[in-house]
Structure 1
Amino acid sequence: MKACIKSLCFALVLFAVFLGMAVCSSAKEVVLYSSNQPDMLDAISQDFESKTGIKLTVVRMGTGEAMKRIEAEKANPLCDVFWSGDVAVLDNAKANFMSYTSPEAASLPASFIEKDHKWTAANMHLMVIMANTQLVPAAYLPKTWGDLLDPKWKDKVVMANPLKSGSAYAQVYGLYKLYGWEGLTKLINNVKILDSSSLVYKGTAEGEFALGITMEYAAHRYVAGGAQNVQVIYPADGVIAAPEGLAIIADCKHPEEAKVLADYLLSQPVVDAVFQKYFRRPARPDASAVEGMPSLKELNMLKDFDPAEANALEKDMLAKWKKLVLQKQ
């Protein structure tokens, strides 16, 4: 009798172990690589898990580092979704992404979705002129990109190095579409080129520089924070919009959960919340407005900005840019 009881207990223990393993193996999870700021990622992680019941593991790294890591891991992907980076960078890595058509992308412009649906734009950076009004009185502020080409602004304008910064390359490409190489040559003669994007907006806000070519969200943070000396100028000759995208990794371990995450990140409530709190403008044209920031309808957008062409021209454009910068020196 005791032997039977022992056997039964042993069988129950084994059953419990196997049941636990089954529960663990069926637990839903998804892994995200992201270049976005830590506090935003924490908020997204908590909200996503509470709404879906799917555990979200976030690994933060720069876009370039993430693309290298995804390439190195392609035989055994450790990531399911990447969010968000310059679509030109994503386009170069699209062999490592799976095709997915999100229902949340229905309102996006065609150029904001890769032709085989390997990446989808989630947000976009508007390129603006950030001015320190303690150094340049409001009456004398530039109104267009073309104004910055005037020799009177020589050494008063800063921008990041397009050889190191994707956003700076978007600025260069946009100005090329407006003014060609003649305009870019004039710009090079006027600007000081800094090593990173953060040096541009921080230095302009702190009064080190009069004008900075930068991203809308970075400049607006100072305005929203109460900085009286900062003004954001949306150039009247064409505001440059550079999309950033997300992608699902090919052969990832959690493809269904990855689709849920992609849909969540592209959904209007999420992009609106991110815009409201972090000033990162959504790619969706139906996004809600944020107080103190103009709607896209109020702006003259550069309609010739083509992410695919920008990517195709990048190598040659940067080579010529570097040559012109060296000639200036």
Structure 2
Amino acid sequence: MSKKSILLLVIVMLCSTLFAGCGGNDKKANAPAADGKKLVIYTSMKESLISGIVEGFKKKNPGIEVDYQSAGAGKLMAKIAAERQSGHILADIIWTSEVPDFYSMKKEGILEQYKSPLLNEIVNPFEDYDGSFTTARLGTLGIAINTDKIKTPPTQWSDLLKPEYKGAFAIADPALSGTSYMSVALLEKQFGWEFFEKLHANQARIGKGSGQVIDDTASGELAASLAVDYITNDKIKKGAHLALYYPPELLVVPSPVAIFKGTTKLDAAKKFVDYLLGPEAQALIAAEGTLSVRPDVKSPEKFKLPEAAEALKRAIKINYNEALASKEATIKKFTEILQVKK
């Protein structure tokens, strides 16, 4: 066996080991099937959401077996890259919130074009839509505050420059979190780098993952953070002293779903996409505190989320291809501005 083959085998084995323990905090997490008999889904959605959707799909389609892998989008993309090197992507479907990744995969020609018959029932944020991927969820980010520390709710992004947030506001590291990267790109698009310069002057911090900055806000280490909707709402549900507020310029990050080209389970994959876009699955999504793509599926009032159409109207617009091309430079600039100067 050549050195190159040995190295490739080691990479694949490492990826397999790495992902064996991923999949959220639930007691049971399914490992991806490798026998070619089951529909396999790679997703960054948390375990409690994807497991409910998969169970619902299986009840509607009793002849289709499903396995899934729930992990961070960055780890999933690394796994896919290793599998492509070995000659075969094990997954049939991918569903994450990292829009630039989907444009990259589309460009590389590894996604199947599929336009669901339910397309006319959902909102679609992609003006260049061609069926390579379809939005299945509209993630939103706002300002999460520790209600013991911040008494006056923020109403504008500029409120983060006030004294009560000095040294106590954080944004997850965009080099570690794709959702955070999209948020940084959106805020820079709307307000320019001057906004981040002002955040730095108010001693804003770079946090770790998107979940970690919310945990730090809940614990009181931070007074506030740039926060993902469903993660924050889950913490609130469990009793955390948090509240989530949305300034007028909304950060909306679509969560696309796509089918990998060459899958031997194309019909089953199409059925899953159709189910995911349908009212039953979308109701599960809305119940998690994030926006459904169906106008007929309303978010519970307690989440204080706008309607999907309104959210897209308020959303900061961005060219995703440009966001993909400038990712490295944007992360570098952000880090240079916000990192603590020694």
Selected match of 2:41 from 32, 52, 70 = 32
SS of residue matched to 2:206: strand
**Match status 1:188 vs 2:197:** no
Residues 56-83 of structure 1: CA distance to partner in whole angstroms, max 9, x if unpaired?
1223333223223333434333211112
Q: Tell me what 2:23 maps to.
A: none
User: In the aligned structure 2, how far is the partner of 1:70 from the partner of 1:97?
Assistant: 13
Structure 1 unmatched ranges of 5 or more? 1-26
- Kept in 2: contact 1:176–1:183 (CA 8 A): yes
The amino acid of 1:86's aligned partner reads: E
Q: Tell me what 1:159 maps to.
A: 171
Q: Tell me what 1:41 maps to.
A: 50
Residues 292-325 of structure 1: CA distance to partner in whole angstroms, max 9, x if unpaired?
1234247682342443443333232222223323
User: In the aligned structure 2, how far is the partner of 1:163 from the partner of 1:122?
Assistant: 25
Residues 127-161 of structure 1: CA distance to partner in whole angstroms, max 9, x if unpaired?
11111121122xx3322112213466320211211
Instruction: Tell me how large the CA RMSD over aligned residues is.
Output: 2.5
SS of residue matched to 1:73: helix
- Kept in 1: contact 2:172–2:213 (CA 8 A): yes
Aligned residues: 298
State the shift of 1:210 in Å: 0.8
- Kept in 1: contact 2:111–2:132 (CA 8 A): yes
Q: Tell me what 1:168 maps to.
A: 180
State the shift of 1:52 in Å: 0.8
Selected match of 2:145 from 94, 113, 131 = 131
Moved more, 207-216 or 310-319: 310-319
Residues 23-81 of structure 1: CA distance to partner in whole angstroms, max 9, x if unpaired?
xxxx9741112222223333222221111121112233332232233334343332111
- Kept in 2: contact 1:87–1:244 (CA 8 A): yes
State the shift of 1:199 in Å: 1.5
Structure 1 or 2: more helix by fraction = 1
Selected match of 1:64 from 65, 74, 77 = 74
Moved more, 316-325 or 118-127: 316-325
**Match status 1:242 vs 2:253:** yes
> Against the structure 1 CA distance between its residues 215 and 327, is the aligned structure 2 distance closer, same or farther, given a 3 Å change threshold?
closer
State the shift of 1:261 in Å: 0.8
The amino acid of 2:112's aligned partner reads: M
Q: Tell me what 2:18 maps to.
A: none
Selected match of 2:264 from 253, 257, 264 = 253
> Against the structure 1 CA distance between its residues 193 and 295, is the aligned structure 2 distance closer, same or farther, given a 3 Å change threshold?
closer
> Against the structure 1 CA distance between its residues 60 and 216, is the aligned structure 2 distance closer, same or farther, given a 3 Å change threshold?
closer
User: In the aligned structure 1, how far is the partner of 2:322 from the partner of 2:119?
Assistant: 21
State the shift of 1:226 in Å: 4.1
State the shift of 1:290 in Å: 1.1
Q: Tell me what 1:325 maps to.
A: 338
User: In the aligned structure 2, how far is the partner of 1:309 from the partner of 1:31?
Assistant: 31
User: In the aligned structure 2, how far is the partner of 1:60 from the partner of 1:221?
Assistant: 17
User: In the aligned structure 1, how far is the partner of 2:60 from the partner of 2:187?
Assistant: 42
The amino acid of 1:136's aligned partner reads: I
Q: Tell me what 1:211 maps to.
A: 224
Selected match of 2:157 from 145, 163, 169 = 145
> Against the structure 1 CA distance between its residues 69 and 133, is the aligned structure 2 distance closer, same or farther, given a 3 Å change threshold?
closer
Q: Tell me what 1:20 maps to.
A: none
Larger CA Rg, structure 1 vs 2: 1
Residues 184-218 of structure 1: CA distance to partner in whole angstroms, max 9, x if unpaired?
21123331111211221111112221111111112
Moved more, 29-38 or 145-154: 145-154
The amino acid of 2:297's aligned partner reads: A
Normalising by structure 1, we get a TM-score of 0.81
State the shift of 1:253 in Å: 1.6
User: In the aligned structure 1, how far is the partner of 2:161 from the partner of 2:289?
Assistant: 28
